[in-house]
Amino acid sequence: MKTTPSLRAIAAAVCVLAFPLSVQAQASLPASAAATAAKPAAAAALKRYELQTNIVDGKMVFIDAKGQVNPVLAAKVGDTVELVLKSGEGAEHDLLIPELNVASAKFSANSGSTTVRFKVTRAGTFTYYCSIPGHRQIGMEGKLEVTGTSLAEKAAPASAAGESSQAAALALYTPAPSPMRGPDPSAVSVAANPAQVPSAIGARAPQTLKYRMETVELPGKLDDGTSFTYWTFNRQVPGPMLRAKVGDTVELTLFNAKDSKMIHSIDLHAVTGGHGGGQHTQVAPGQEKTVTFKALNPGLFVYHCATPLVPQHIAAGMYGMILVEPEGGLSKVDREYYVMQGEMYTGRPHGAPVHQEPNLEKMANELPDYYVFNGEVGALSKTHKLQAKVGETVRIYFGVGGPNKISSFHVIGEIFDKVYSEGSISSPKHDVQTTLVAPGGATIVELKVQHPGSYLLVDHALSRAGKGAVGVLEVTGDPVPGVYHAGAVQ
């Protein structure tokens, strides 16, 4: 009868077979190598690094305890690496090493420091970086150098190992699904009042003007029953309209609210030099910076945040306009209004009764869920309306924050008597039905209203009206005889 050997017998046989092989291997090595092989492996160590984020020379970076920017971290195979991470300037960050399946929690001034620990099992040079959109591109990247011989991976069933590896990779490269939550009950309207236009300047000698603006992140009402976390200038979208005269010197101070998670800045298209101011206004939470520029060219110019990821900051509401009047100023009109178009990219479909989160993939593919005037659906039809009386001349300062889409600006039932295309004041056009405005561009339109009624402001890519891009100019008074009436000739 065939018998099964005991476990002890099998173990003994394995030892007997292995021993001669071990001796043979030792004998075939040079003496020095044999001695090295005989030594026990060096004990694994704990490598502890403290990294603090900050802004250096206009770039966001990691800094170690010695002040080294984006330091090269060193470890040996088998070491445990401990990274203590702190936001030095206050903004929100994280740290990833995808090749080693390492990802920290997000940290900021409000959350305090965070720690991530991991054992190094592979030799090589690995990249660590911040995964917040735009942060890696602006400098938050360094190296971890690991020496030694890679450790053999612990045996595991092939299917389980493959699933585990795949899950780890997906976790690092695929954004975690945002938990669906209802609209934020604290959300407020961020829609800028279109009538809040600074007074005309007219003819005067050049002066020094001082402006102070604050960047604020806050929950806002995107639509009825829908909220969104806006990033704003002065808690409104668009940011406040600024007004200067050609030849003026403008001193602009930008303050970033202490509770912000992001660094913010401002790039004014009216500025010559310094990336429009963006180079020197990268402002961390709780800080402020000032730039001074001369208004060299008359026109209507867009400004926006210039902190990476720039399209994300713009789509979240960070845009506005500055008017630089020409010598002698602009012609007098009865009413002036301030309107800007933007598009928004959200994680849930248009109109979902939730707190919407930004969707960067849709933004990259230029597939907006919302088109808005002055920041929110209904901003210029329910929250505010443009108003005029028959016989008045209305001037609209219109711009496109974008970040991506051209607007075909049109007022249904009216004709623009005068259009300053592309914001250029030097040579207006006359009798225009629809005018194109590029993202990051502007125009000035004037129209004399001669008949009462509700005139709709639209982007004449009219499907966008259903996604929010519609406003109302309410005209009251007696109609001008012969201009319009229902029915046949009287």
Residue pair 238/319 in contact by the 8 Å Cβ criterion: yes
Query: Hey, what's the torsion of the CAs at 293, 239, 437, 351, to 10 degrees?
Result: 160
127-149: pLDDT as tens digits = 999 999 889 988 999 999 999 99
Task: Please name the residues in contact with 83: beta carbons below 8 A apart, sequence gap of 6 or more.
Answer: 49, 50, 51, 95, 104, 115, 116, 117
Query: Rounded distance, CA 358 to CA 360, Å?
Result: 6
3-state secondary structure of 434: strand
Q: What is the pTM of this model?
A: 0.82
415: tokens are 């004709």
Mean pLDDT of all residues in 351-366: 95
Q: Which of 289, 252, 293 has its CA nearest to residue 270? A: 293
117: tokens are 């620990």
pLDDT tops 70 at residue 3: no
* The pLDDT of residue 166: 53
Q: Which of 445, 469, 234 has its CA nearest to residue 374? A: 469
* The pLDDT of residue 425: 95
Average pLDDT across the chain, whole number: 89
pLDDT tops 70 at residue 443: yes
* The pLDDT of residue 38: 43
* The pLDDT of residue 23: 33
> What distance lies between CA 344 and its chain's CA centroid?
11
Mean pLDDT of all residues in 81-101: 95
Q: Which of 11-20, 142-151, 164-173 has the highest mean pLDDT?
A: 142-151
Classify the C-alpha dihedral 460-462-464-469 as positive or negative: positive
Q: Which of 325, 183, 193 has its CA nearest to residue 247? A: 325
Confidence of residue 309 (pLDDT cuts 50, 70, 90): very high
275-308: pLDDT as tens digits = 999 999 999 999 999 999 999 999 999 999 999 9
* The pLDDT of residue 167: 53
Upper half-sphere CA count for residue 261 (Cβ side, 13 Å): 14
* The pLDDT of residue 39: 46
Confidence of residue 156 (pLDDT cuts 50, 70, 90): very low
187: tokens are 């959300």
Task: Please name the residues in contact with 319: beta carbons below 8 A apart, sequence gap of 6 or more.
Answer: 237, 238, 239, 302, 303, 304, 305, 340, 342, 399, 401, 402
Confidence of residue 35 (pLDDT cuts 50, 70, 90): very low
3-state secondary structure of 272: coil
Query: Rounded distance, CA 428 to CA 173, Å?
Result: 50
Q: Percent of the chain, pLDDT > 70? A: 86
Query: Rounded distance, CA 400 to CA 468, Å?
Result: 14
265: tokens are 């800045």
Q: Percent of the chain, pLDDT > 90? A: 81
218: tokens are 């806050």
Strand residues in 264-420 grouped as ranges (E): 267-268, 288-294, 299-304, 319-325, 335-344, 355-356, 370-373, 386-389, 393-402, 407-412, 416-420
Lateral strand order in the sheet of 73-76: 73-76, 141-147, 124-129, 96-97, 102-103
Mean pLDDT of all residues in 250-269: 97
Cis peptide leading into residue 368 (ω within 30°): no
Q: Which of 55-59, 147-151, 178-182 has the highest mean pLDDT?
A: 147-151
> What distance lies between CA 327 and its chain's CA centroid?
37
* The pLDDT of residue 178: 60
